[in-house]
Amino acid sequence: MFGNSSNPILQEKTFNKERVYGNSATMTVNGTIEKTGVLLLILIVAASYTWQMAFNSGDIENASASMFPWMIGGAIGGLVVAIAMMFMHKYAAYLAPIYAVLEGLFIGAISAFFEFMYPGVVMNAVLGTFGTFLVMLFAYRTGLIKVTEKLRAVIIGATIAVGITYLLTWVLGMFGVNMGFMHGNGLLSIGISLAVIVIAAFNLLLDFDMIERGAQSGAPKYMEWIGAFGLLVTLVWLYIEFLKLLSKLQSRD
């Protein structure tokens, strides 16, 4: 038995339910890493498409008109596929790449908007995301940070709090309530962004731990796609948070 991740896909019950016995092929950490690389490549190719389309538009006004459907479609489509993944594990080899395409279309479009407004911010966000990934992987593999039950509970609680806060901000915004402290470039807003990045980074530890334990528990081979998908979700979240933080910092210059 092992603890949960805050990622709804990488849950203990998921791996326990799909556990196999006998001579069937089982999930491995290396196999999950390979599939994560495949999903990242698919996402980058899809993102390049909407990114190029946005900059071919010439300016942010024209890009907004042409990119909005791609951005919303990618976001909603990705959410639908993510929900499907929670119940259709055996189809993960097909659903995970579809998610990567849809999320890539969204990432490419939203990245272009940020780049139009804050030149250079996208590359810095990419470097920040993968730099954080490598640091957290090193911390996990060396045992510098151990995923204990207490740490897991804190991270999951903090992640839920972030989700609730974002949901309330969105709902209140629909009713005209301005939550400037969340989206502005003040010190409080920057501090909140930093805190969310730390929470997202620590979610990577939970993902690493769940993938490793899933492999140890004898989960079937197709669960590698589940593990890769869950890790991709966290990386996308981390990247978006870096975009937001860096744009706030750049707007203060």
User: What is the spatial distance between Cα 168 and Cα 161, in angstroms, rounded to a whole number?
Assistant: 11
Domain ranges of the chain: 22-251
User: What is the spatial distance between Cα 235 and Cα 237, in angstroms, rounded to a whole number?
Assistant: 5
Alpha helices in 142-186, H assignment, sequence order:
149-174, 180-183
Give residue 22's pLDDT band: very low, low, confident or very high (50, 70, 90).
Answer: very low
**Is the confidence at residue 101, as pLDDT, over 80?**
yes
pLDDT digits (tens, 9 = 90+) for 182-216: 677 788 889 999 999 999 999 999 999 999 998 98
Location of structure tokens 């006998």: 22
pTM, to two decimals: 0.87
Average pLDDT, the chain: 87
Q: Which of 26, 55, 8 shows the shortest CA–CA distance to 216? A: 26
What pLDDT is recorded for position 17?
A: 55
What pLDDT is recorded for position 9?
A: 61
Lowest mean pLDDT among 6-15, 61-70, 102-111, 238-247: 6-15
pLDDT above 90 covers a percentage of the chain that reads 61
Q: For the stretch 213-244, what's the b/e string if a residue is b when 16 or more beta carbons lie within 10 angstroms of its beta carbon?
A: bbbebbbbebbbbbbbbbbbbbbbbbbbbbbb
Q: Which of 199, 155, 140 shows the shortest CA–CA distance to 5? A: 155
What pLDDT is recorded for position 56?
A: 83
Mean pLDDT of 149-177: 87
Token pair belonging to 193: 């962004």
What pLDDT is recorded for position 1?
A: 39
